Amino acid sequence: MGPYVASLGRLVARAGASIVALALPPRCPGCGTPVAADHRFCASCWAGLHLIGPPWCAGCNLPFDYDRGQGAMCGPCLADPPRHAGVRAAVAYGAVARQLALQLKYGRRIGIADTMAARIAVVVPPGLDLLVPVPLHRWRLWSRGFNQAGLIGDALHRRCGVAHDPFALVRRRQTIVLRGLGSRGRRRAVSGAFAVPDRSRVAGKAIGLVDDVYTTGSTTAACTRALIAAGAASVTILCWARVIADDTPGD
């Protein structure tokens, strides 16, 4: 009876899953069109995503239009080399990428974090020791109920096997909206906003700093300074979307 019951149980489970799939088919995370599997995009939304990969700047991973040779850097990195070890973004910021970011952050569709992580995992560099999300201030976390960067970090941990510590970095004070501020104003707004409460959690480690959208880099630069000051060996930015053009949202 044992094997028979187990076999019958598997059949019932598969039947139940099929019924659920018919009633609630997987949908494109961009527009809601039914698709073949979870975390897949319809043809239209997939065409609207600009995947980022080489050739790119050796300093910040800004994509180049053509291969400029090994070690080539963009103008801003030549003028002011970043302290981070690169910005690994899955896609360029655009209409579809923005829609997913908004649905995760404000639409409370937390499953989209795994959709994002599936694409970010493709560009995660080898050798990372720890994933650390860009933190929210405790009042923002309380009002929203979750940290979207933390959800992405947890999904990346499950996909890549890199350890995830959502409490290694904290935001000590709330910061104003950075949209509309100049570069100096952005730096001033986030200066001293982040801290590492326990240096032993990051000391000597190659950190993957996780966020949803990378715009001007002011916030991640402040996080990077705090992590490096606490002894981190390196900090690589990992994010869903990166703004390439100047039509940017707030950071």
Domain boundaries defined on the chain: 1-42, 48-242
pLDDT at 37: 86
pLDDT at 107: 85
Mean pLDDT (whole number) for 14-18: 43
Domain 48-242 has CATH 1.10.1750: no
What are the backbone dihedrals phi and psi of residue 194, each rounded to the nearest 5 degrees, phi first? -120, 150
Mean pLDDT (whole number) for 132-146: 82
**121 has a pLDDT exceeding 70:** yes
pLDDT at 53: 93
Q: Read off the tokens for 114.
A: 């795994």
**250 has a pLDDT exceeding 80:** no
Distances (CA, A) of 90 to 33, 65, 70, 103, 212: 22, 17, 21, 17, 10
Cα 166 from chain centre: 13
Confidence of residue 193 (pLDDT cuts 50, 70, 90): confident
**158 has a pLDDT exceeding 90:** yes
Portion of the chain with pLDDT greater than 90, in percent: 63
Q: What's the CA gap between 203 and 229, in Å, rounded?
A: 9
pLDDT at 4: 54
Q: What's the CA gap between 47 and 59, in Å, rounded?
A: 28
**2 has a pLDDT exceeding 60:** no
What is the average pLDDT value for the chain, to the nearest integer?
Answer: 85
pLDDT at 174: 62
pLDDT digits (tens, 9 = 90+) for 37-93: 888 899 999 999 999 999 999 999 999 999 999 899 999 999 999 999 999 999 999
Q: What's the CA gap between 105 and 148, in Å, rounded?
A: 6
Confidence of residue 17 (pLDDT cuts 50, 70, 90): very low
**181 has a pLDDT exceeding 60:** no
Measured torsion, CA atoms of residues 230, 234, 238, 244, in degrees rounded to the nearest 10: 110
Q: Which of 59-68, 167-176, 207-216, 226-235 has the lowest mean pLDDT?
A: 167-176
What are the backbone dihedrals phi and psi of residue 56, each rounded to the nearest 5 degrees, phi first? -150, 170
**33 has a pLDDT exceeding 50:** yes
pLDDT at 143: 73
